[in-house]
Structures are given as structure tokens and as C-alpha cells.
């Protein structure tokens, strides 16, 4: 029995839900079209399971990214019924009888179907010098810098980011201004700024119109974040730091 026939027979045995999936090949298609697929509706299936079912049983040409299936790798982010979501953590049963519309993450160029370009996002992460900076010393690999639980707690929340890009997709500023450093990159900078072992200075990167001052505090980034990183809080906290440092710089003895 062929896979398509097998899938059709399975569909008659179990309830199904319709996925309306955006299909697009830049350079070949004039615009995205939505293709409908019926997939089994079971309590334990996430949207990603539905897409995998389509890929394996119905249409092998569908393209999408995923890796861990457990909310760790951050690669399965898509727009599900208009909201940026991790598709491995979004269950089909959440949408009643459907249909469920699945599109690529908004705000990013599409490579194909549900796969978006991530280079700009990765460049922004690297831009904030996301490593421990020590003044006047090389950091030998064998060196240990002890840290108390309280010191760990100061930045731990920001270290939980899985680079899923949902916050960028939700952010109206990033959609309008691609130069905006964006929520996850600023949260990442704060992850290091607040680390007791770090002595780095990222003020020149963050205290700019493309940095924290680009944020209009809509807060959608925090609402979209599946890991409760709260990038909006990271940005607002750094605005205070930047303002204090700017005032200090005006004083006769200058900054630090």
C-alpha cells in the first residue's frame, strides 16, 4: 500500500484537522499560496507533528525547520493562526475544529515555504559581544570564577533564551526598522552585563537609537517568549543603566 493511500485510510479512521500551510518558492512563485492538508487530530500531536505527517505521508516537497521537538533548539518557530509560536509546543487540540493557518515567522525573508532567513538575527546576537569580557587579562580555559547563587540569579532568566526569534517576529519595531538590535540580542547583552564575572562595556552598542532607545515598550516580545526570558524588562532595565551612565559622563570625573 502506498504512503498516500495509507494516509487516506488513516484519515477515515481518526478525526482530522485541516492545516492551511503557506507555500512559497521565492524566484519561482509570484506570491505565497495556502495549501490545505488534513492531518490526524489527536490529543498528543503538536502542530509540528502535523507538518511532519504532511512531509512524510502527503507531500514531501513541504519545507520547514525543526530539530529537538521539545522546546530546546528554538528552530521550529512559525506563525500559527497569526501568532508567533514554537510549533513543537503548540498542540493541534488548541484550535478546536480548525482550520489552522501556518505561515513562516513574520518579519524575516522567506527562503522556502516555512523556512526563513536567520542571518540577520545571528549577526545581531554576535554584535553584542556575548561572551565574558575580562579587563586586562586573558581568560585561561582552566580558570574558575566562583559565583554565589544570588549572583547567578541576577542574570539566569536572560540565559534561558533558545534563540527562537519569536520575539523579533512579534516586535513591531523590528518589522519597521530592521536595524533595531531587537529583544533577544539586548536580553543576551544583559545576560553578560549582569554576570558578576563579566567586566565588559556594551554601552556603545546598547545606548543608541538602534539599541535600547529603539524600543517603544510595546511588550509583545515578552508575551511571545516561550521561555519567560522577558526581553522587554531587559531593555527597560538597560535604559535606566544607559541614562545613569550618560549623566555620569557629564560630571567632571566622567564615567567610571
The contact set with ligand SF4 (CB under 6 A) reads 161-167, 183-184, 187, 224-225, 227, 229, 231
Residues 147, 195: Cα–Cα separation, whole Å: 9
Residue among 14, 61, 67, 199 that touches ligand FES (CB under 6 A) = 67
Cell for 148?
554565589
Q: Which is nearer to ligand SF4, 16 or 157 (CB)?
A: 157
Q: What's the closest the beta carbon of residue 74 comes to ligand FES, in angstroms?
A: 5
The answer to whether 86 touches 76, Cβ cutoff 8 Å, is: yes
Q: How far apart are the first and last CA of the chain?
A: 74
Residue 67 interface partner, choices ligand SF4, ligand FES, none, CB cut-off 5-8 Å depending on type: ligand FES
DSSP 46: B
Cell for 100?
489552522
Q: What's the closest the beta carbon of residue 85 comes to ligand SF4, in angstroms?
A: 10
Site for ligand FES (CB under 6 A): how many residues? Answer: 12
In sequence order, which residues have a C-beta less than 8 Å from that of residue 67 and are 6 or more positions away? 73, 75, 76
Residue 58 interface partner, choices ligand SF4, ligand FES, none, CB cut-off 5-8 Å depending on type: none
Element (H, E) at 216: none
Q: What residues line the site for ligand FES (CB under 6 A)?
A: 66-69, 71-76, 86, 88
Amino acid at each position: 500500500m502506498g504512503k498516500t493511500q495509507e494516509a487516506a485510510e488513516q484519515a477515515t479512521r481518526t478525526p482530522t484537522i485541516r492545516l492551511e500551510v503557506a507555500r512559497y518558492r521565492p524566484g519561482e512563485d509570484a506570491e505565497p499560496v495556502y495549501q490545505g492538508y488534513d492531518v490526524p487530530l489527536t490529543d498528543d500531536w503538536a502542530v509540528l507533528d502535523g507538518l511532519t505527517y504532511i512531509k512524510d505521508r502527503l507531500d514531501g516537497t513541504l519545507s520547514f525547520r525543526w530539530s529537538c521537538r521539545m522546546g530546546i533548539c528554538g528552530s521550529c518557530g512559525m506563525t500559527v493562526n497569526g501568532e508567533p509560536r514554537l510549533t513543537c509546543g503548540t498542540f493541534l487540540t488548541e484550535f478546536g475544529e480548525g482550520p489552522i493557518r501556518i505561515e513562516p515567522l513574520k518579519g524575516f525573508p522567506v527562503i522556502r515555504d516555512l523556512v526563513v532567513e536567520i542571518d540577520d538575527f545571528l549577526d545581531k546576537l554576535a554584535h553584542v559581544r556575548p561572551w565574558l569580557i575580562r579587563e586586562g587579562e586573558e581568560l585561561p580555559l582552566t580558570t574558575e570564577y566562583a559565583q554565589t547563587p544570588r549572583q547567578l540569579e541576577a542574570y539566569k532568566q536572560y540565559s534561558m533564551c533558545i534563540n527562537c526569534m519569536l520575539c523579533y517576529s512579534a516586535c513591531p519595531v523590528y518589522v519597521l526598522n530592521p536595524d533595531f538590535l531587537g529583544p533577544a540580542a539586548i536580553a543576551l547583552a544583559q545576560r553578560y552585563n549582569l554576570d558578576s564575572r563579566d567586566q565588559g562595556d556594551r554601552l556603545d552598542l546598547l545606548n543608541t537609537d538602534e539599541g535600547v532607545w529603539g524600543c517603544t515598550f510595546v511588550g509583545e516580545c515578552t508575551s511571545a517568549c516561550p521561555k519567560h526570558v522577558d526581553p522587554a524588562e531587559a531593555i527597560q532595565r538597560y535604559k535606566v543603566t544607559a541614562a545613569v551612565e550618560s549623566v555620569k559622563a557629564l560630571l567632571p570625573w566622567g564615567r567610571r
